[in-house]
């Protein structure tokens, strides 16, 4: 094979195992920074114990944390991490003087840093960097070093790592999700244009739909279950997260497989208004996609909102005219439902455009007649996760208990290099007992192998300290790179080898028994992690997934049903508000349970594409309720017609049974083989026709509300096929 062939093969291999070159970047950065930080600390302080803060600080800052953004933002992130960890180092050193204080402090710090993961983004990326220097501090204590030396060594690491991160393979924020969202919106605009504004070409529309599905799959791949995606710290992040939820619901809601709903055809006022609305939909989506790609662009919903209101008015006017012309109520309802899809699309496009504005740092545009915009406050998110229903809190408690128990054992037994025991707990403990068991024996196997190889190398080096300094960046690179690219045992072997090389340099001449101490410490840490995993929520996220998702769809429908009931009879506004709050919380708990389950993986992970769709269903039901609620705030849209009120009540009762049935099956895990039978509204039961404008408005709005429900039910009925990608991940 030629040199070019080898290069091509290597590139293909790297694309498969290290697609973003994350491992390569981390390995090279750490290989440069760690020897520099260690050399400066040893020569500046002469304190070999304090040098541990430089070494492990560099590991935390460059091997586990990976801040993104502009040069200024990354500098701020590293310096803020430095300040926070300075406080944690001082706390750890002071707390180490008492066994109980050390254990309790470890519990609190571990709990907080673990919970930080649920905020994702740079906060989740920086949390591991915060816990490592604290562990070193609380295990070493003031009897091993001074606060001044520890902080100097730590800040040497911070400064060196910041410079290296800014210069070597700088990671500017990769707007992968933003770019894919822009593609989703653009392809949706293509579909709207081909469906409503161009001569009908079913093959082209279906091709565009397939292209949209492909982009949505890519978006799912970079977002679902990803710990470092932006989620909720800033208003912009929350808007972006909501926009992604919106995108997953968008494709299904506007699906028209038979291409039978073309209200833009014809010559009447309603058809003309539909064409204007379709054009506004396309134009607004183009502007939104451009704004996602170029944040300086600001999309507007004013034209779209005006076009939708004009379209609704045209449909209402036409309904009155046809009713007075003798058209029966059932036919009027059927025609109103036929004209609904394009209005639905405009609602979704308007909300997504408002979210694009927020994601770019702008405010929601105030336009008369605009639809309410989905909101997700940081307070709502945190409250939803600070309960034992949350996989995040469960995992944080397990981590905190595991590390505090390890701290107690280390303090009581005076184990050498006690922080290795705690590092072993972190390395092995996972969301569930199965993965933890697998990690335990693999970590021990890798540690033994790495210790053997490193001990042989150190023995052969003799008194050649220069050779050890030469080997240090090589072993650092292998450890940083293999942690991302290779399997877990190899990564543990590489890390153990690098650690022994670093210890040998800091405590020259080396103690060849240090490898045996590391094996014992890692074995003890693995044992502690295994016991914690077996005792506390051994199923991990899967233990809460079914119940969380079941509650999510049940409460979401409860809110939508409350809004529907308000169309037929008065309700207590506080009841609707309380139900909405409960639904928002339940949706967040369910969505995060699914996300944590994706991170957990392993046996038992549901092989079912609809799990992600279920979170979309819940979100969509609440979103529909919020969009339609204002129409019943001043009057009952169906109040003038006994048969329309009866239809609403019947449809809500059917929905209660339908969604309760879905929730019951989800709760017991029976979701892959079960096919629900949706109920559709029966327009033939309607008898009264609207003869005035107000009656026709109430009639059309009520029909559109029921049509929303019918379409969402139809989506759920078709979402029961296994997902190969999800199955493969398990």
Sign of CA dihedral 516, 519, 524, 527: negative
**Which range is least confidently modeled, 365-379, 413-427, 456-470, 492-506?**
365-379
Tell me the C-alpha distance between 255 and 584, whole Å: 26
For 482-540, the pLDDT digits (tens) are 888 888 898 899 999 989 999 889 888 888 888 899 999 999 999 999 999 999 888 77
3-state secondary structure of 120: strand
User: If pLDDT is split at 50, 70 and 90, which confidence band does 603 have?
Assistant: very low
The answer to whether 323 touches 246, Cβ cutoff 8 Å, is: no
Peptide bond into 509 cis (omega under 30): yes
The answer to whether 171 touches 62, Cβ cutoff 8 Å, is: no
For 281-336, the pLDDT digits (tens) are 999 999 999 999 887 778 999 999 999 999 999 999 999 999 999 999 999 999 99
For 364-404, the pLDDT digits (tens) are 888 887 777 777 677 777 777 777 777 788 889 999 999 99
Nearest to 178 by CA among 97, 241, 114: 241
User: If pLDDT is split at 50, 70 and 90, which confidence band does 600 have?
Assistant: low
Does the pLDDT of residue 192 top 80, yes or no? yes
**Which range is least confidently modeled, 109-123, 250-264, 491-505, 704-718?**
250-264
In this prediction, what percent of the chain has a pLDDT beyond 70? Answer: 86
Sign of CA dihedral 273, 279, 281, 287: negative
pLDDT recorded at residue 709: 86
Two tokens at 727? 């199955």
pTM value?
Answer: 0.78
Helix (H) or strand (E) holding 672: none
User: If pLDDT is split at 50, 70 and 90, which confidence band does 549 have?
Assistant: confident
Beta bridge partners of residue 230, listed in sequence order: 120
**Which range is least confidently modeled, 193-197, 225-229, 235-239, 494-498?**
225-229
| CA triple 252-245-67, angle to 5 deg | 145
Q: What is the DSSP letter of 60?
A: I
**Which range is least confidently modeled, 53-57, 470-474, 484-488, 497-501?**
484-488
Tell me the C-alpha distance between 166 and 641, whole Å: 68
pLDDT recorded at residue 305: 94
Q: What is the mean pLDDT of residues 184-212?
A: 87
The answer to whether 191 touches 95, Cβ cutoff 8 Å, is: no
Can you give 70-104 as a three-state secondary structure string? CHHHHHHHHHHHHHHHHHHHHHHHHHCCCHHHHHH
User: Phi first, then psi: what are they for 697, rounded to 5°?
Assistant: -60, -50
pLDDT recorded at residue 232: 52
Tell me the C-alpha distance between 126 and 32, whole Å: 20
Tell me the C-alpha distance between 298 and 296, whole Å: 6
pLDDT recorded at residue 5: 61
pLDDT recorded at residue 606: 52
Does the pLDDT of residue 716 top 70, yes or no? no
Q: What is the mean pLDDT of residues 687-716?
A: 87
Does the pLDDT of residue 722 top 50, yes or no? no
Does the pLDDT of residue 680 top 70, yes or no? no
User: If pLDDT is split at 50, 70 and 90, which confidence band does 226 have?
Assistant: low
Does the pLDDT of residue 272 top 90, yes or no? yes
pLDDT recorded at residue 725: 34
Tell me the C-alpha distance between 114 and 390, whole Å: 13
pLDDT recorded at residue 694: 92
43, 469, 512, 637 from 39: Cα distances, Å: 6, 9, 22, 76
Two tokens at 259? 């291409």
DSSP string, 526-589: HHHHHHHHHHS-TTTTHHHHHHHHHHHHHHHHHHHHHHHHHHHS---HHHHHHHHHHHHHHHHH
Tell me the C-alpha distance between 219 and 405, whole Å: 40
By CB atoms closer than 10 A (0-12, 13-18, 19+), residue 685 is middle
Q: What is the mean pLDDT of residues 579-590?
A: 86
Angle between helices 176-196 and 340-359 (to 10 degrees): 160
pLDDT recorded at residue 515: 87
User: Phi first, then psi: what are they for 201, rounded to 5°?
Assistant: -135, 90
Q: What is the mean pLDDT of residues 193-222?
A: 84
Q: How many CB atoms lie within 10 A of CB 366?
A: 8
Whole-angstrom Cα Rg for the chain: 30
By CB atoms closer than 10 A (0-12, 13-18, 19+), residue 73 is middle
The whole-chain average pLDDT of the chain stands at 83
More confident residue, 119 or 407: 407
The answer to whether 592 touches 392, Cβ cutoff 8 Å, is: yes
Q: What is the mean pLDDT of residues 421-429?
A: 92
pLDDT recorded at residue 320: 93
In this prediction, what percent of the chain has a pLDDT beyond 90? Answer: 36
Q: What is the mean pLDDT of residues 124-140?
A: 86
For 75-106, the pLDDT digits (tens) are 888 999 999 999 999 999 999 989 999 999 99
Tell me the C-alpha distance between 65 and 174, whole Å: 16
| Cα 124 to the center of its chain, rounded Å | 11
The answer to whether 65 touches 128, Cβ cutoff 8 Å, is: yes
Two tokens at 544? 């809460």
Tokens 């039901």 -> residue: 621
More confident residue, 611 or 72: 72
Tell me the C-alpha distance between 169 and 586, whole Å: 41
pLDDT recorded at residue 642: 93
Sign of CA dihedral 480, 482, 488, 494: negative
3-state secondary structure of 42: helix
The answer to whether 576 touches 631, Cβ cutoff 8 Å, is: no
Does the pLDDT of residue 688 top 70, yes or no? yes
182, 198, 254 from 204: Cα distances, Å: 21, 11, 16
pLDDT recorded at residue 143: 86
Nearest to 615 by CA among 277, 376, 338: 376
pLDDT recorded at residue 228: 45
3-state secondary structure of 230: strand
Angle between helices 488-506 and 51-58 (to 10 degrees): 150
User: If pLDDT is split at 50, 70 and 90, which confidence band does 617 have?
Assistant: confident
Tell me the C-alpha distance between 208 and 193, whole Å: 11
Does the pLDDT of residue 22 top 60, yes or no? yes
């Amino acid at each position: 094979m030629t040199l070019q062939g080898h290069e091509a093969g290597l590139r293909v291999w790297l694309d498969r195992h290290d697609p973003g070159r994350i491992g390569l970047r981390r390995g090279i950065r750490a290989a440069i920074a760690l020897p520099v930080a260690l050399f400066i600390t040893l020569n500046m302080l002469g304190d070999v114990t304090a040098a541990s803060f430089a070494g492990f600080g560099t590991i935390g800052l460059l091997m586990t944390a990976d801040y993104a953004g502009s040069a200024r933002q990354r500098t701020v992130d590293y310096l803020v991490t430095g300040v926070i960890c300075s406080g944690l180092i001082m706390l750890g050193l002071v707390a180490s003087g008492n066994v109980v204080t050390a254990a309790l402090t470890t519990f609190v710090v571990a709990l907080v840093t673990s919970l930080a993961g649920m905020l994702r983004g740079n906060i989740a990326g920086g949390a591991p960097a915060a816990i490592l220097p604290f562990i070193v501090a609380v295990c070493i204590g003031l009897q091993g070093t001074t606060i001044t030396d520890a902080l100097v060594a730590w800040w040497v690491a911070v400064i060196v790592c910041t410079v290296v991160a800014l210069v070597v393979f700088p990671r500017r924020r990769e707007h992968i999700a933003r770019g894919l969202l822009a593609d989703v919106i653009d392809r949706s605009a293509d579909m709207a244009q081909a469906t409503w504004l161009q001569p009908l070409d079913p093959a082209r529309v279906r091709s565009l739909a397939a292209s949209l599905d492909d982009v949505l799959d890519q978006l799912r791949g970079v977002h679902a279950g990803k710990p470092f995606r932006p989620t909720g710290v800033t208003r912009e992040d929350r808007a972006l997260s909501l926009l992604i939820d919106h995108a997953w619901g968008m494709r299904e809601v506007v699906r028209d497989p038979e291409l039978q709903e073309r209200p833009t055809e014809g010559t009447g006022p309603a058809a003309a208004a539909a064409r204007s609305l379709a054009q506004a939909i396309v134009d607004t989506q183009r502007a939104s996609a451009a704004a996602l790609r170029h944040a300086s662009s600001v999309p507007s919903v004013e034209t779209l909102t005006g076009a939708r209101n004009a379209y609704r008015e045209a449909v209402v006017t036409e309904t009155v005219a046809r009713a007075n012309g003798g058209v029966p109520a059932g036919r009027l309802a059927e025609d109103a439902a036929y004209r609904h899809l394009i209005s639905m699309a405009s609602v979704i496009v308007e909300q997504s455009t408002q979210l694009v504005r927020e994601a770019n740092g702008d405010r929601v545009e105030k336009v008369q007649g605009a639809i309410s915009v989905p909101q997700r406050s940081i307070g709502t998110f945190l409250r939803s996760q600070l309960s034992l229903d949350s996989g995040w809190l469960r995992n944080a408690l397990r981590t905190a208990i595991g590390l505090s128990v390890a701290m107690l054992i280390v303090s009581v037994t005076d184990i050498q290099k006690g922080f290795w025991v705690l590092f072993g707990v972190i390395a092995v403990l996972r969301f569930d007992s199965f993965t933890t068991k697998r990690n335990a024996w693999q970590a021990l196997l890798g540690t033994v192998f790495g210790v053997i190889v490193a001990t042989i190398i150190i023995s052969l080096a003799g008194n050649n300290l220069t050779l050890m300094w030469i080997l240090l960046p090589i072993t650092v690179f292998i450890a940083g790179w293999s942690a991302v690219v290779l399997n877990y045992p190899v990564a543990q072997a590489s890390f153990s080898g690098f650690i022994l090389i670093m210890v040998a340099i800091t405590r020259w001449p080396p103690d060849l028994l240090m490898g045996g101490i590391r094996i014992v410490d890692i074995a003890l840490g693995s044992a502690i992690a295994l016991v914690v995993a077996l005792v506390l929520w051994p199923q991990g996220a899967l233990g809460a997934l079914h119940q969380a998702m079941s509650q999510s769809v049940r409460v979401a429908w409860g809110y939508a049903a409350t809004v529907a009931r308000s169309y037929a009879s008065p309700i207590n506004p506080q009841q609707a508000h309380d139900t909405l709050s409960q639904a928002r919380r339940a949706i967040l708990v369910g969505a995060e349970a699914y996300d944590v389950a994706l991170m957990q993986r392993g046996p038992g992970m549901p092989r079912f594409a609809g799990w992600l769709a279920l979170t979309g269903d819940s979100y969509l039901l609440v979103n529909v309720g919020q969009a339609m609620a204002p129409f019943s705030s001043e009057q009952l849209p169906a109040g003038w017609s006994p048969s329309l009120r009866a239809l609403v009540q019947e449809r809500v009762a059917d929905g209660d049974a339908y969604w309760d049935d879905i929730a019951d099956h989800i709760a017991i895990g029976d979701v892959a083989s079960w096919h629900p039978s949706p109920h559709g509204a029966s327009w033939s039961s309607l008898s009264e026709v609207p003869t005035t404008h107000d009656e026709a408005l109430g009639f059309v709005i009520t029909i559109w509300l029921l049509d929303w429900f019918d379409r969402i039910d139809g989506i759920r009925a078709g979402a029961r096929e296994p997902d190969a990608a999800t199955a493969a991940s398990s």
